[in-house]
Chain A
Amino acid sequence: MKKTFKLENLGCANCAAKMENAICKLEGVSNATVNFMTTKMVIEADEDKMEQIIPEAEKIVKKIEPYVVVKKA
């Protein structure tokens, strides 16, 4: 299943790349993209693991750019 989020205040392209990399490595994630231009994050993962993955992903985002606000799109 696929979920899309909006990352407000996403400020640096390299950070977006770092987030993407780290989220891709989370268990159960089959693919993830963080698009700097559209400020959108798309996570593809197994349906039953999505619940755990979302807070993990959010943590990663916050860790790399603390000012970013993750919102459901």
Chain B
Amino acid sequence: MKKHLIRIIISSLIYAIAFLVPSDILWLHLALFLISYIIIGGDVIARALANIKNGNVFDENFLMGIATIGAFLVGEFEEGVAVMLFYQVGELFQDYAVRQSRKSIADLMDIRPDYANVKRENELVRVDPEDVKIGDIMVIKPGEKVPLDGIVIEGNSMLNTSALTGESVPRDIEPGNDILSGCINMNGLITARVTKEFEESTVSKILDLVENASNKKSNSEKFITKFARYYTPTVVIIAVILAILPPILFKGETFSDWAYRALSFLVVSCPCALVISIPLSFFGGIGGASRKGILVKGSNYLEALAKTEIVVFDKTGTLTQGVFNVQEIKPENISKDLLLEYAAYVESFSTHPISLSLKRSYHKEIDNRRISEVMEIPGHGVTAIVDGKKVIAGNSKLMEQEGISCYQGEVIGTIVHVAVDHVYAGYIVIADEIKIDAAKAILNLKSSHIKETVMLTGDNRITAKKVADILGISKAYWELLPTDKVEKLEELLKQKTEKGKLVFVGDGLNDAPVLARADIGIAMGGLGSDAAIEAADIVIMTDEPSKIATAIKISQKTLRIANQNAIFAIGIKIGVLILSAAGYASMWAAVFADVGVTFIAILNAFRALNVKNL
């Protein structure tokens, strides 16, 4: 690049001197221009010749060579050199812009760990992460990146996961916790056992996804490549016609004038600005999204996301925590603690999420000797003998069967009635909590002009309605089995317009068929979950549903930039073509329409990388 700059400077100096030489010494004048031209354009001509030998005629070098040599031949010496100079300056800028964007992409990918400290025969050795095997013991010092996925066996620390999740709040870790490669250890010394090889580790998977995402091309990219394939030959053919026909057909038109116009045409015929700026916009958008902890698996998905009309959410685990908790304890004639104790005991052998939440809420150890004759009645509840008393815990159907009258009101969540020795003792309400940013997520979606938000759930009507109301979701469907969800989605797909897209958001675990059926499937909480990453088109690394609106905003911005670039580049090129055919535009304008436009388009595409305020 420095060489390039020096050549430009020397050539411009000689070019300037040529103007100082009195123009009646024609040979000196011409010689100086020629020297200046060779210095600045020699490599272009050499490359053009090499390419012709390879059977590649219409490349940029050839077009520039022909145009400038042509300018010499029609007697426009100054212009021939100047255009080449201008072209090279443009190339320099373009080169710089490409280098900068490659660099910022490389920075983005700078989450790859360079080494791992591994214990080998009681000594700590620094090795390439690729050479580490499952079961090896690695040591991560403060400030170092976690090189491979593993499980902590010693040490407490805080991990910065922002490179993976975009989340700035550090995560506390202690022995027994899983740690993911790519996170940065902030303070303590951690010893961990490797659980995945480097190739399979989180960091490798994420890098692979982001790098290859731009290989799945969007429609606008496909359009541009196709356009470019026809554009160059068409312009070249018109240029030839322009050079030959008018001077023959019309009297008084000189060959050199029309040849000059044709040469300008050739300069504009390079499609580089188009071919580079649109993929770069998408690349920037995908890179920017990954900074926010949003993994987009292809440019095509990012493009589709910008056209979202309907967003369908799965409730449990997506809008709600997916963790059941005791919300209410309503005893009758006994104490709250005793009611919870009976419930926890009677349910203590079950692994049902509801039983687990009761045990969690009870806090104390369960003494197995106090309980006997446990009987689980599927779909109803459990009965057992606790401290010699017969305890029944379950839904209202179970109470009915046992002939016990119980509370009949409706509650949000699941109700567990308890009876002790056939006397009603009250009920406990267990519910899933709504995520903190779920309401914000729906609100942001509405402000991004999403037509409809829908919630699907296997839960009952009351819970579904309540959650939908709190969050401001326009439609909710309840009591759906997994297969019903696919059917509902089919129905919703029919409701959108032809161009609009339907997004389904789930946890990626139980809803793979629905994720696959939607136009775009988004999985939440992808960090550390290979299944979610596998099933979805877009993965939100954290548990925040508000990131969906962020992703849509990023996609809209990216598409806007890509469209601007396409319109700008095609517009300027066609404008300059028309002007130069009419004889109003000089070759300068033509060079601008080539390299100038490319440079500006790259700079514009660069903006896609900036997602700070989205």
List the interface of chain A (C-beta within 8 A of B): 12-17, 33, 35-40, 42, 63-64, 66
Docked CA distance A35–B98 (Å): 13
Asked if B272 and A13 sit within 8 Å, CB to CB, the answer is yes
Separation in Å of the B203 CB from the closest CB of chain A? 17
Task: Give the contacting residue for B275; candidates A13, A35, A40; CB below 8 A.
Answer: A13
Separation in Å of the B597 CB from the closest CB of chain A? 13
Separation in Å of the A8 CB from the closest CB of chain B? 12
Q: Given the known inter-chain contacts A37-B279, A63-B54, please indicate yes or no for A14 contacting B272, CB distance below 8 A.
A: yes
Docked CA distance A17–B230 (Å): 13
Asked if A36 and B211 sit within 8 Å, CB to CB, the answer is no
Q: Given the known inter-chain contacts A12-B272, A13-B275, please indicate yes or no for A39 contacting B102, CB distance below 8 A.
A: yes
- Most B CB atoms within 10 A — which of A17, A35, A39, A63? A17
Task: Give the contacting residue for A15; candidates B59, B211, B215, B225; CB below 8 A.
Answer: B59
Asked if B56 and A14 sit within 8 Å, CB to CB, the answer is no
Q: List the B residue with the shortest CB-CB distance to A20.
A: B225
Asked if B214 and A35 sit within 8 Å, CB to CB, the answer is yes
Task: Give the contacting residue for A38; candidates B51, B55, B211, B225; CB below 8 A.
Answer: B211
Asked if B275 and A38 sit within 8 Å, CB to CB, the answer is no
Asked if B276 and A66 sit within 8 Å, CB to CB, the answer is no
Q: Given the known inter-chain contacts A14-B270, A37-B105, A64-B56, please indicate yes or no for A42 contacting B215, CB distance below 8 A.
A: yes
By DSSP majority rule, is chain B's interface helix, strand, loop, or mixed? helix
Q: List the A residue with the shortest CB-CB distance to B232.
A: A14
Asked if A17 and B275 sit within 8 Å, CB to CB, the answer is yes
Asked if B272 and A37 sit within 8 Å, CB to CB, the answer is no
Asked if A37 and B283 sit within 8 Å, CB to CB, the answer is yes
A35 partner residues in chain B, CB cutoff 8 A: 211, 214-215
- Most B CB atoms within 10 A — which of A16, A35, A37, A38? A37
The yes or no answer to B228 lying at the interface (CB within 8 A) is: yes
B215 partner residues in chain A, CB cutoff 8 A: 33, 35, 42
Asked if B280 and A66 sit within 8 Å, CB to CB, the answer is no
Task: Give the contacting residue for A17; candidates B56, B225, B283; CB below 8 A.
Answer: B225
B283 partner residues in chain A, CB cutoff 8 A: 37
Q: List the A residue with the shortest CB-CB distance to B602.
A: A13
Docked CA distance A13–B271 (Å): 9
B16 partner residues in chain A, CB cutoff 8 A: none
Separation in Å of the B565 CB from the closest CB of chain A? 12
A63 partner residues in chain B, CB cutoff 8 A: 54-56
Asked if A14 and B105 sit within 8 Å, CB to CB, the answer is no
Q: Given the known inter-chain contacts A38-B105, A40-B211, A66-B54, please indicate yes or no for A14 contacting B271, CB distance below 8 A.
A: yes
B50 partner residues in chain A, CB cutoff 8 A: 66
Asked if A17 and B105 sit within 8 Å, CB to CB, the answer is no
B212 partner residues in chain A, CB cutoff 8 A: 33, 42
The yes or no answer to B60 lying at the interface (CB within 8 A) is: yes
Separation in Å of the B123 CB from the closest CB of chain A? 32
Q: List the A residue with the shortest CB-CB distance to B224.
A: A17
Separation in Å of the B104 CB from the closest CB of chain A? 10
Asked if B102 and A37 sit within 8 Å, CB to CB, the answer is yes
B12 partner residues in chain A, CB cutoff 8 A: none
Docked CA distance A38–B108 (Å): 12
B102 partner residues in chain A, CB cutoff 8 A: 37-39
The yes or no answer to B316 lying at the interface (CB within 8 A) is: no
Separation in Å of the B92 CB from the closest CB of chain A? 13
Q: List the A residue with the shortest CB-CB distance to B51.
A: A66
Given A13-B276, A38-B214, A39-B102, output 5 extra A-B contacts at Cβ < 8 Å: A14-B228, A14-B272, A14-B275, A33-B215, A66-B50
Q: Given the known inter-chain contacts A15-B59, A17-B228, A64-B56, please indicate yes or no for A37 contacting B214, CB distance below 8 A.
A: yes
Q: Mark B87-125, 1 if CB is under 8 A from A, else 0.
A: 000000000000001100100000000000000000000
Q: Given the known inter-chain contacts A40-B211, A63-B55, please indicate yes or no for A12 contacting B60, CB distance below 8 A.
A: yes
A33 partner residues in chain B, CB cutoff 8 A: 212, 215
B275 partner residues in chain A, CB cutoff 8 A: 13-14, 16-17, 36
Docked CA distance A16–B248 (Å): 40
Docked CA distance A18–B523 (Å): 36
Q: List the A residue with the shortest CB-CB distance to B211.
A: A38
* 19 pairs, A vs B, C-beta closer than 8 Å: A12-B60, A13-B275, A14-B60, A14-B270, A14-B271, A14-B275, A14-B276, A15-B59, A17-B225, A33-B215, A35-B214, A36-B275, A36-B276, A36-B279, A37-B102, A37-B214, A38-B102, A64-B54, A66-B50
A12 partner residues in chain B, CB cutoff 8 A: 59-60, 272
B271 partner residues in chain A, CB cutoff 8 A: 14
Docked CA distance A46–B605 (Å): 36
Docked CA distance A34–B212 (Å): 10
- Most B CB atoms within 10 A — which of A13, A15, A66? A13
Q: Mark B46-60, 1 if CB is under 8 A from A, else 0.
A: 010011001110011
Separation in Å of the B103 CB from the closest CB of chain A? 11
Docked CA distance A65–B275 (Å): 16
Docked CA distance A14–B228 (Å): 8
Asked if B280 and A37 sit within 8 Å, CB to CB, the answer is yes
The 5 tightest CB contacts between A and B, nearest first, are A13-B276, A33-B215, A13-B275, A14-B275, A63-B54
B279 partner residues in chain A, CB cutoff 8 A: 13, 36-37
